[in-house]
Structure 1
């Protein structure tokens, strides 16, 4: 709005029907969504040939990490990219993001200018490239604390650094890949498993619309991945579970495949589209 553009705010539930109607009517140049909405729009048969806004030049995604297959499918169909970025209430601003001309789907991009990032292990030591660590951010927009929550403030705001609670890896070029929330990560056979990585593999199966993965105890009390999935319309369920397991094994590794697969009508989410995995862990 500061440059004279028009912003369109949708007061309704963001269904494919509603959003395609807005895109067609108002013809925006930038579209802001979340991964679950992009997936729903791509797979709604009613809008299989819809092109949305002919003026669209860019889309942005936030709320949850954008799976690689959704980003690629969107760009292939609509001819414009999705920029996936990370911000938080505590930082007020996007601090890690892909950028026009510098997009690799499946990653969260690089540090936004003005922000410094680091990954620390459980002992507070910086981790090497390729290793999993918790993301800390330093930048000018950080809050000073939570109102009347001194202990939580001390845990999150550590000097100049803000603890995000997100687990990431970083490559040699400074590009970050999301692994999951610190309290969502778990080990299988002594190896860390990223729920997001397994979810992305599950959701890339041609029969699956959405997926969420949580740890679940087997008969020996050991944690293994369990997948909750929402299927696309009209899918044949015969042999689906074994097909899904083999697909994940081939995509991300033998030990990461879900030992249990539960089909659900919908995944529990927040108002901003984040999957509430804690509700699934209790099932």
Structure 2
């Protein structure tokens, strides 16, 4: 929704609407969208993370402490950890699954004992989200645990590639999933929605070079497919598993 409104204002100018605060949650906010929104409206977007299991937003930016491209820091009353596959805490710069501890946590899932045992570990609740901890304590979203994949033995964040694609002036939305090349190795494949016009080979090559320049040569999408829209849940989360099924 924010991306669509920014694209509209890029063409038609800012809307004369008095705004005090804007909130984003559900799907991580791309840095480019936040920056352009603030340029048009003069109002920041506070990107945060919550979950049904926790009832409440537990990780967020705030007006006096905002860095686009990050999910911010813990909301007062909540404690956060990043752990690896063995449950060991991940140091700054590493990527791990986000665990949260707070009084608003659910007790269990109704009639789903096995899922409850996996998700609720004592005072800690597993979110299923992968994050990177920066040196300043801010958390950077990398993707859902089942959306992450390795390229040349290194974990790739689909969200990082998506953010690079969205920073291109022709792209409205993007989603990245793993696809196998001719050798059976996983490489990133992108699905993109254009703001206008149609794609040609020149644009697709330009997008690949754009990603290489923004985040690194090995992270660029080997394939790019232009679509009219992306599959989403009722709350706006991109359903990447549906895109994986199409490969």
Which of these two proteins has the greater Rg computed from alpha carbons? 1
Deviations 1:146-180 (A, max 9, x none): 00110000000000000000000112221100000
- Residues 1:44 and 2:5 are matched in the alignment: no
In the aligned structure 1, how far is the partner of 2:49 from the partner of 2:10?
31
- Residues 1:193 and 2:160 are matched in the alignment: no
Structure 2: runs of 5 or more not aligned: none
- Residues 1:74 and 2:15 are matched in the alignment: no
- Residues 1:258 and 2:221 are matched in the alignment: yes
* Structure 1 outlier segments of 4+, above 6 Å: none
Deviations 1:64-86 (A, max 9, x none): 00000000000001001000000
> Which residue pairs with 1:225 in the alignment?
188
> Which residue pairs with 1:148 in the alignment?
111
> Which residue pairs with 2:47 in the alignment?
84
- Residues 1:166 and 2:129 are matched in the alignment: yes
Structure with greater contact order relative to length (CA < 8 Å, sep ≥ 6)? 2
> Which residue pairs with 1:99 in the alignment?
62
**C-alpha contact (below 8 Å) 1:120/1:134 kept by paired residues:** yes
**C-alpha contact (below 8 Å) 2:80/2:99 kept by paired residues:** yes
In the aligned structure 2, how far is the partner of 1:123 from the partner of 1:246?
37
- The alignment's TM-score, normalised by the length of structure 1, stands at 0.85
**C-alpha contact (below 8 Å) 2:30/2:69 kept by paired residues:** yes
2:72 to 92, 98, 109: 109
SS in 1 for 2:104: coil
In the aligned structure 2, how far is the partner of 1:73 from the partner of 1:104?
14
Aligned pairs, how many? 246
Change in Cα spacing, 1:169 to 1:280, as seen in structure 2 (3 Å) is: same
Shift of 1:46: 9.6
In the aligned structure 1, how far is the partner of 2:56 from the partner of 2:160?
25
Change in Cα spacing, 1:187 to 1:123, as seen in structure 2 (3 Å) is: same
> Which residue pairs with 1:242 in the alignment?
205
SS in 2 for 1:228: strand
Greater Cα shift, 236-245 or 60-69 = 236-245
In the aligned structure 1, how far is the partner of 2:72 from the partner of 2:8?
29
In the aligned structure 2, how far is the partner of 1:205 from the partner of 1:127?
32
> Which residue pairs with 1:124 in the alignment?
87
- The alignment's TM-score, normalised by the length of structure 2, stands at 0.97
SS in 1 for 2:115: helix
Greater Cα shift, 100-109 or 233-242 = 233-242
